[in-house]
Amino acid sequence: MTFKSSYPPYDPTDKKGFSYETVIKRWPIIITGVVDTLHKACHKLSLELQIEGQDEDKKAEILNKIEEGKAVIEKVSKLKYEMARDRALEPIPEDGEVHVEIYNTELEELKRDKRNTWFTAPWLYAEYNPFILNRWTDKLTDISTGAICEAGPLFDLVPILILLVRYRLLRSFLNQTTFWNTFDPFRDQKLETFRLSGKSILQIASTIHELGESAGLKEEPEKLAILFNEMIQMGNATDLSLLTHLSHDDIQKLQTVEKEARSARSKFILRDDEEPVWKHLEGQKDARIDFVLDNSGFELFTDLVFADFLVTYTPYVSKVVFHPKLIPWFVSDVTPTDFKETFELLSSPSKFFAPELISENANSVAHLEEMVGRWRKYLDQGVFSLSVPIDTPLGGNAPGSEKAAFWTTAKPYWDMETEGSEVFEDLKDSGLVVFKVLGDLNYRKLTGDVRWPAWTPFEEALGPLAGAFPLLSLRTNKADVIVGVDKAVSEEFDSSMGNKWRVDGR
C-alpha cells in the first residue's frame, strides 16, 4: 500500500514559499544559462568551419551538429516561454530512456485535476486539491469547509516533481539528437566552480597527508570522533569547516581549548545526531557505507575525503559505495561521467587549477596526487565503487545501470521498496546510508516535501523507509520542509525570521 502523508505538499502557488521564488527567479536564470551554453557551443563549431583545408565530410558533420544545436535551442527557449506564462506541463516524448511512462501517467493525473501548469503543479505531489488525507483513517478533510469524505482513487497522492519534469525534458531534447546526446549543458559551470575551489582542495589534501603521518590513529577513538565531526561539517557547510587548516596537533586542541569555538559553531545546527551516528559506526566491523550523492565538484571531493577517512583511518569501514544520478540533474548533481572526470582532473592538478596556485603550493599538490592515487587504488580494489559501472553513459542505457534509475524518478523515497526495489534491497546490506543534501533534494524526497510541522519526528516523515536500513541525512536548510526540530525553536524562528531560516542555507 502506498504511504500517504496527512499534510499537503509544498507548491508554487504559495508566494511566500521557496517553490514560488524558484519558479519565478531561479528557473529562468538556469534555462537562460542552458541557451547561452548551447549558443557558445554552436559558435565554436561555426569557427571550425572556417579552418582552411577542412575535410568536406567533417564540414558536413559540423553543419549538421550546428543545425541540431539550433533546434535544441529553439525547444529550450520555448520551454522557458511556456514556464513564464504558466502553460501546461509538456509530456516527455518517447526518447528511449527511463521513466517516460511514469512521468506521462502522472501528468495525465495532473491534467484531470486541472493542476498541470508550471505554477499550479505541487512541488512534489500532484494530488492535493483543498483536501488533507488522514493516514490513520483514510478519510479526506476539506480545509475550507471541514467536510469529511472517503478517499477514493482520485485522491491517491500521485507523486510528481515539476523540477524533475523540466530536467527530464532538457535531457530528452538532447537525447533525441545524433550529435548532442552525451552533451551535459551544465558541465562548464560545474567545472569552473570546481576549479575555483582549488585552494581549499589543496589545503584539505595536506591535512589528510598529515593524518597519514600520525601513527596509531585507529587506536584513538576520541580523536577519530573529533575528525568525524569535521568530516560532516566539511561536506555540508564548507564555510564552517576547520579541515582546511587542521593539523594533528589541532585535533588535540579541539578536545580542549577550542571547545568554545565548536560550541559557537553549533548554534547553526538545528538537529545534531552526530553522537549516536558515531556510536553506531563504532559498533561496525568491516562495514559497507553508502553515499547517495548530491553535488559534483567540491562537494563530491569532500565526499571522497570523508569516504577515505572512513576506510583508511577508522577500523569500522572497509567499503564505500557511491550512488550517482543517470542524467544531468538539478545543474550540479553527480553523474557517472562527473565521478570519473573528478578522478582524472585531480590526478593532474597542474593541468586543471590556476598555474599560480600550483606554483605556490607544491607540497600540497604532491599531497593531492598521493591521496587521489590512493583513491584510484581503492577503485581498482573495490574499496570504492559506484552503484553503476563507471563508464555508464548519460541516460544510463547500459547494462548495470538499474540501481541508479530510482534516484531520478518523481517518487518520494518512502516508495523505494515498491518503486525502486533493486536499490532498496541493495541498501539493506549497508552499515549506514548517507544521504547528501547540500542542495536539499534528497531531504525533500526523504520527507515527501509536504508541510509537516517542523517538530514532526524524522522517523515519522520517512514513512515506511524508517527502519529499513541505518540512515543519516546531512542537510543544509535550503527549502521549506523541515522536521525533527524542537517545537519551541521552530515557533521562535518562524516568529522572528519568517520563512528565511528554512531556506537561506545558514
Residue 111's pLDDT is what?
Answer: 85
Q: How confident is the model over 219-232, as pLDDT tens digits?
A: 888 889 988 988 88
Residue with cell 604532491: 366
Residue 367's pLDDT is what?
Answer: 97
How are beta strands 139-142 and 317-323 bridged, if at all? unpaired
Residue 54's pLDDT is what?
Answer: 81
Alpha-carbon distances of 307 from 112, 130, 232, 440, 452, rounded to whole Å: 47, 45, 11, 21, 32
Query: Greater confidence, 299 or 54?
Result: 299
Q: How confident is the model over 16-30, as pLDDT tens digits?
A: 666 566 666 677 888
Tell me how far apart the alpha carbons of residues 414 and 467 are, in angstroms, rounded to a whole number: 11
- As a whole number, mean pLDDT of residues 302-313 equals 95
**Quick count: other Cβ atoms within 10 Å of Cβ 33?**
15
Least confident of 213-222, 322-331, 460-469: 213-222
Q: How confident is the model over 251-273, as pLDDT tens digits?
A: 445 444 445 656 667 778 899 99
In the chain, % of residues over pLDDT 70? 81
Top CATH class of 18-129+158-176 equals mainly alpha
Given pLDDT bands bounded at 50, 70 and 90, which one contains residue 88? confident
Tell me how far apart the alpha carbons of residues 450 and 56 are, in angstroms, rounded to a whole number: 57
Residue 240 DSSP class = G
Tell me how far apart the alpha carbons of residues 215 and 428 are, in angstroms, rounded to a whole number: 34
Tell me how far apart the alpha carbons of residues 299 and 200 are, in angstroms, rounded to a whole number: 11
> What are φ and ψ of residue 133, in 5° steps?
-95, 125
Query: Greater confidence, 283 or 1?
Result: 283
Range from 398-412, 432-446, 491-505 that averages highest in pLDDT: 491-505
Tell me how far apart the alpha carbons of residues 115 and 107 are, in angstroms, rounded to a whole number: 9
Q: Which of 417, 450, 405 is nearest to 127 (CA)?
A: 450
Range from 94-98, 122-126, 257-261, 338-342 that averages highest in pLDDT: 338-342
- As a whole number, mean pLDDT of residues 464-488 equals 93
Answer whether 453's CB lies under 8 Å from 488's CB.
Answer: no
- As a whole number, mean pLDDT of residues 39-66 equals 92
Least confident of 31-40, 101-110, 179-188, 318-327: 101-110
Query: Greater confidence, 6 or 405?
Result: 405
Tell me how far apart the alpha carbons of residues 241 and 235 are, in angstroms, rounded to a whole number: 8
Mean pLDDT of the chain: 82
Tell me how far apart the alpha carbons of residues 494 and 133 are, in angstroms, rounded to a whole number: 25
Tell me how far apart the alpha carbons of residues 66 and 69 are, in angstroms, rounded to a whole number: 5
Is the pLDDT assigned to residue 403 strictly greater than 90? no
Residue 223's pLDDT is what?
Answer: 87
3-state secondary structure of 291: strand
Residue 203's pLDDT is what?
Answer: 93
Residue 74's pLDDT is what?
Answer: 96
Continuous H helices in 49-86: 56-84
Residue 160's pLDDT is what?
Answer: 33
Q: How confident is the model over 344-359, as pLDDT tens digits?
A: 999 999 999 999 999 9
Query: Greater confidence, 142 or 80?
Result: 80
Residue 139 DSSP class = E
Tell me how far apart the alpha carbons of residues 291 and 327 are, in angstroms, rounded to a whole number: 18
Residue 20's pLDDT is what?
Answer: 60
Q: In sequence order, which residues have a C-beta less than 8 Å from that of residue 376 and are 6 or more positions away? A: 343, 347
- As a whole number, mean pLDDT of residues 292-304 equals 94
C-alpha triplet 52, 54, 55: angle, nearest 5°? 155
Given pLDDT bands bounded at 50, 70 and 90, which one contains residue 504? confident
Tell me how far apart the alpha carbons of residues 22 and 17 are, in angstroms, rounded to a whole number: 9
Residue 244's pLDDT is what?
Answer: 44
**Quick count: other Cβ atoms within 10 Å of Cβ 451?**
20
Residue 123's pLDDT is what?
Answer: 54
Alpha-carbon distances of 49 from 36, 39, 178, 183, 213, rounded to whole Å: 20, 16, 19, 20, 55
Answer whether 68's CB lies under 8 Å from 178's CB.
Answer: yes
Answer whether 121's CB lies under 8 Å from 110's CB.
Answer: yes
Is the pLDDT assigned to residue 209 strictly greater than 80? yes
Is the pLDDT assigned to residue 297 strictly greater than 80? yes
Tell me how far apart the alpha carbons of residues 434 and 288 are, in angstroms, rounded to a whole number: 11
In the chain, % of residues over pLDDT 90? 50
Kindly state the cell numbers that stand for 40: 557558445
Residue 83's pLDDT is what?
Answer: 82
Tell me how far apart the alpha carbons of residues 501 and 506 are, in angstroms, rounded to a whole number: 7
Is the pLDDT assigned to residue 439 strictly greater than 90? no
Least confident of 23-27, 273-277, 294-298, 442-446: 23-27
Answer whether 247's CB lies under 8 Å from 210's CB.
Answer: yes
Residue 9 DSSP class = B
Is the pLDDT assigned to residue 39 strictly greater than 90? yes
Tell me how far apart the alpha carbons of residues 402 and 397 are, in angstroms, rounded to a whole number: 9
Is the pLDDT assigned to residue 149 strictly greater than 80? no
DSSP H or E segment with residue 380? helix 362-381
Kindly state the cell numbers that stand for 376: 584510484
> What are φ and ψ of residue 168, in 5° steps?
-70, -35
- As a whole number, mean pLDDT of residues 80-106 equals 82
Residue 234's pLDDT is what?
Answer: 75
Residue 122's pLDDT is what?
Answer: 59
Residue with cell 515498491: 418
Report yes or no on whether pTM surpasses 0.85. Answer: no
Q: In sequence order, which residues have a C-beta less than 8 Å from that of residue 357 and are 6 or more positions away? A: 198, 199, 202
Query: Greater confidence, 454 or 24?
Result: 454
Residue 391's pLDDT is what?
Answer: 94
Any idea where the domains of the chain sit in the sequence? Answer: 18-129+158-176, 186-502
Torsion over CA: 203, 206, 208, 210 (sign): negative
CB-count burial class (<10 Å; 0-12, 13-18, 19+) for 411: buried
